[in-house]
Structure 1
Amino acid sequence: MLVVFGRGVQLAGGRWSLTAGSAERVHAAVDYVLGRRDEYRAGGRIPRVIFTGGWAEAAEGAVQPPDGSCEGDLMVRAALAAGLGAVAELRAETRSRSTLENLLHVAEEGLLTGYEFAPGRPLGLVTHPWHLPRVRFLAGKVLGLRGAALTDVPVPGGGRRRAEWAVYLAARLCFVGVRDAAALRRRERTVTRLTGMARRLRG
């Protein structure tokens, strides 16, 4: 199973579409699964690929996209267009506005139900390399999965984001000792509010 993390949507000319980063993550998931289809067939397995994302831009006050145009929806459509639906079961999580919410909603919506993850059968995490440390940390908090129970599927391209290191450190500090979903959400809201204040002060 793979969980694919979104990288935003955009509105241009009255049409919603994936950002370049989101499209790169879809392509990486497609390449990963198609490259292993013989292995899946031999094992009698149909992999599940979960595309996650609502509208991350909500933190900046962006309006919610209409039904069918949230990030997870658009990612599934792109994956179907690339032929992934022929070899994998595709699911979408479309309510989230952050990486933490991606994982919380995937768990709450039962998208992992019936699967057990271990070093021999890990959960794949599809995102850019600079994002993976935070995703792994949050997967430990939300899903209780760590180490070899997770496998990285790094996405080529996307550049480097220096600010992500600060976000990762902030997450580790913010979520110390917290595992409960409600408490995680409260802590994230606090960090988002403080981050916004800091941006306004700098600007």
Structure 2
Amino acid sequence: MLVVLGRGVLPAAGGTWALTPASLARVRAARDYVAANEAAFAAAAQRGRRPRIVFTGGWAEAAEGAAPPPAGWREADLMLREALAAGLDRHADLRAEARSRSTLENLLRTAADGLLAGHAFDRHHPLGIVSHTWHLPRVRYLARRALGLRGGALLDVPATGGEPAPGWWPEGAVRMACRLWFLGVRDPAGLLRRERAMVALLHRARRGTRRGPAGGRPSARRPAGGDADAPTGYRTVAGGSTAVTKNRRTP
């Protein structure tokens, strides 16, 4: 099984939304992984264990304070359409979780929606995590907290390309903040409460740093995009909306 984490959406022409280049890079990393392991995917299906690929991500509320895009235009929705266009449904069941607003919620909501049910993950059958290399250590830490998975039970599937300029809040600082705020907490409700408190604190700090000199005006807010808890340097672009493909339901 693969879990592909979203990396933001951007407003596009005609009131639509499009994946950021980094989100597209993660879909392509999943596509390339399947192509490189096509025989293993086919063998699993023949044994009655058809592989599954879960696309998870809603919008960057935790990082940007962004409002949710319209239903059908969120990270997971658009990643699923890209995956269908690439033919990944020939090799695996494709599912989408489009409500999450942070990396932690990616994992918790994927589990809460039953998308990991029926699978036991270990070093022989790991859960593949598709994200960028800089992000994977934090995903691993949160997977240990939220899912109880660690070490060989997780497989890194790194994406490359499409990354923006460094964000306002360095990834190393976000990772350290997670370790401090989530220390000693494992239950989903407790993790979410801690995260909401951490996000509120980071937003207050961010608003303070974005104000100009005394009497100055705050800088303009960036569009919805980027990891839900690692602010990015993406800029709004026009055009290039993803063609809508009817979502195919799988058992």
Shift of 1:83: 1.1
Greater alpha carbon shift after TM alignment, 158-167 vs 107-116: 158-167
Q: What number of residue pairs does the alignment pair up?
A: 203
Contact 2:9-2:19 within 8 A present in 1 as well: yes
Choose from 122, 126, 131 the match for 1:122: 126
CA gap of 1:108–1:29, structure 2 versus 1, over 3 A, is same
| CA distance in structure 2 between the aligned counterparts of 1:139 and 1:2, rounded to whole angstroms | 13
| CA distance in structure 2 between the aligned counterparts of 1:170 and 1:156, rounded to whole angstroms | 25
TM-score by length of 1: 0.95
Shift of 1:59: 4.5
Contact 1:130-1:161 within 8 A present in 2 as well: no
| CA distance in structure 2 between the aligned counterparts of 1:187 and 1:133, rounded to whole angstroms | 19
Shift of 1:42: 2.9
CA gap of 1:57–1:18, structure 2 versus 1, over 3 A, is farther
Greater alpha carbon shift after TM alignment, 9-18 vs 141-150: 9-18
Paired letter, 1:85 = D
Choose from 40, 45, 51 the match for 1:47: 51
CA deviations on 1:173-198 (whole Å, 9 max, x unpaired) are 11000001111111111111111111
- Stretches of structure 1 lacking an aligned partner (at least 5 in a row): none
Partner of 1:190: 197
Shift of 1:172: 0.6
CA gap of 1:142–1:128, structure 2 versus 1, over 3 A, is same
CA deviations on 1:114-153 (whole Å, 9 max, x unpaired) are 0000100000000000000000000000110000000100
Q: Percent identity?
A: 59
For the residue of structure 2 that corresponds to 1:177, the secondary structure is coil
Output aligned runs, 1:100-179, within 5 Å: 100-159=104-163, 161=166, 163-179=170-186
Contact 2:62-2:199 within 8 A present in 1 as well: no
| CA distance in structure 2 between the aligned counterparts of 1:59 and 1:157, rounded to whole angstroms | 21
TM-score by length of 2: 0.77
Paired letter, 2:5 = F
Contact 1:34-1:84 within 8 A present in 2 as well: no
Structure showing greater radius of gyration is: 2
Contact 1:2-1:125 within 8 A present in 2 as well: yes
Partner of 2:37: 36
Greater alpha carbon shift after TM alignment, 91-100 vs 28-37: 28-37
For the residue of structure 1 that corresponds to 2:139, the secondary structure is helix
Paired letter, 1:29 = A
For the residue of structure 1 that corresponds to 2:128, the secondary structure is strand
| CA distance in structure 1 between the aligned counterparts of 2:61 and 2:10, rounded to whole angstroms | 9
Name which structure has the greater RCO, CA cutoff 8 Å, separation 6+: 2
Shift of 1:58: 5.9
Partner of 1:4: 4
The structure that is helix-richer by fraction is 1
For the residue of structure 2 that corresponds to 1:153, the secondary structure is strand
